[in-house]
Structure 1
Amino acid sequence: MSTFSVSRSAFIPAPAEDIYPHVIGFRGWLNWSPWEGIDPSMQRSYSGPVEGVGAKYAWKGNGKAGAGTMEIVEAAEPSRIALRLEFTKPMKAVNPTTFTFAPDGHGTTVTWTMTGENKGIGRVFALFINMDKLVGGDFEKGLAQLAAVVAAQR
């Protein structure tokens, strides 16, 4: 079984306390997630608490957006958020995902990491597609958009 890890970091010139609220509640992701513009008719639903552990988000979209769920499974304010990310389409996969917020001089280094295992058809897919190349750019775009949202509110 092969595993993968995709991670990107960005320096945001703001304290973690100003950044964390944009990630801890899925409704806030509408403002910075790199995947929000993929499918204008994507269906979204939210359940559980508005933010924090137990908050859930589900989406169903076109072929490019796919379908799946996310749930916040750990929250240590303002330093770490862990998610259970489950894709149901186009391929089934569960990918643990974390955001860490580390003080860095006059700001915060935010690191977004997704891990997973290549099983079944995913293992064949991994022979041809590098997960880092597939989603790394999206993570970079999302972190840049998160920085812009935080800057606009300061």
Structure 2
Amino acid sequence: MSPYEVTRSALIPAPAEAVFPLVNSFHEWTKWSPWEAVDPTMDRSYSGNDAGVGAKYAWNGNRKAGSGTMEIVESDFPRSISVRLEFTKPFKAVNPTTFTLTPADGGTRVTWRMTGENKGLGKVFALFMNMDKLVGSDFERGLAALSSAVKANKA
């Protein structure tokens, strides 16, 4: 197995209390998730709680979007959110993902971190593709869109 980590941070010019709800509810992710536009006809379903621990989201999309589930497993307002991210296609994988919100000059430093292990086909894939390069730019786009979504919510 070969473990990996993808981490990106951005300064969002708003207090953590304004950022937190956009991450703590999967219903809000449509405003900022970098993967929402990958497949406009993607099937989405929500279950469990609307927000916080127990909130669940499932998707099933085209080849590029794949399919999987997410569940919020920890929610500490307004500091952190932990998500159990499970992909079922194109590769089976479980990727613990955390969002950490830290007060900073000018707003909130949001850190998006995903960890995982390459196994089976994923391990072969990892020989040719670096997960940080593959997903890191998505995280950067997502954090920029999250900042825009926070501004739009304030307006």
**Into which bin does the TM-score normalised by the smaller protein fall?**
over 0.9
Matched, 1:30 2:30: yes
Residue by residue over 1:44-67, the C-alpha shift from the partner in whole angstroms, topping out at 9 and shown as x without a partner, is 000000000010000000000000
Alignment of 1:1-154 (within 5 A): 1-154=1-154
Aligned-pair identity in percent equals 66
Instruction: After the TM superposition, list the runs of 4 or more consecutive aligned residues in structure 1 that deviate by more than 4 angstroms.
Output: none
In the alignment, the residues of structure 1 paired with residue 10 and residue 65 of structure 2 have an alpha-carbon distance, to the nearest angstrom, of 24
How far off its partner does 1:153 sit? 2.1
| SS of structure 2 residue aligned to 1:88 | strand
Q: Which amino acid aligns with 1:82?
A: S
- Unpaired segments ≥5 residues, structure 1: none
Residue by residue over 1:95-139, the C-alpha shift from the partner in whole angstroms, topping out at 9 and shown as x without a partner, is 000000000013000000000001111111100000000000000
In the alignment, the residues of structure 1 paired with residue 25 and residue 36 of structure 2 have an alpha-carbon distance, to the nearest angstrom, of 15
RMSD over aligned Cα atoms: 0.5
Q: Which amino acid aligns with 1:121?
A: L
In the alignment, the residues of structure 2 paired with residue 46 and residue 68 of structure 1 have an alpha-carbon distance, to the nearest angstrom, of 12
How far off its partner does 1:151 sit? 1.1
How far off its partner does 1:152 sit? 1.7
In the alignment, the residues of structure 1 paired with residue 95 and residue 146 of structure 2 have an alpha-carbon distance, to the nearest angstrom, of 21
In the alignment, the residues of structure 1 paired with residue 70 and residue 99 of structure 2 have an alpha-carbon distance, to the nearest angstrom, of 13
In the alignment, the residues of structure 2 paired with residue 24 and residue 153 of structure 1 have an alpha-carbon distance, to the nearest angstrom, of 15
| SS of structure 1 residue aligned to 2:124 | helix
The number of residue pairs the alignment matches comes to 154
In the alignment, the residues of structure 2 paired with residue 47 and residue 152 of structure 1 have an alpha-carbon distance, to the nearest angstrom, of 26
TM, length-normalised to structure 2: 0.98
| SS of structure 1 residue aligned to 2:29 | helix
Q: Which amino acid aligns with 2:142?
A: G
Q: Which amino acid aligns with 2:67?
A: A
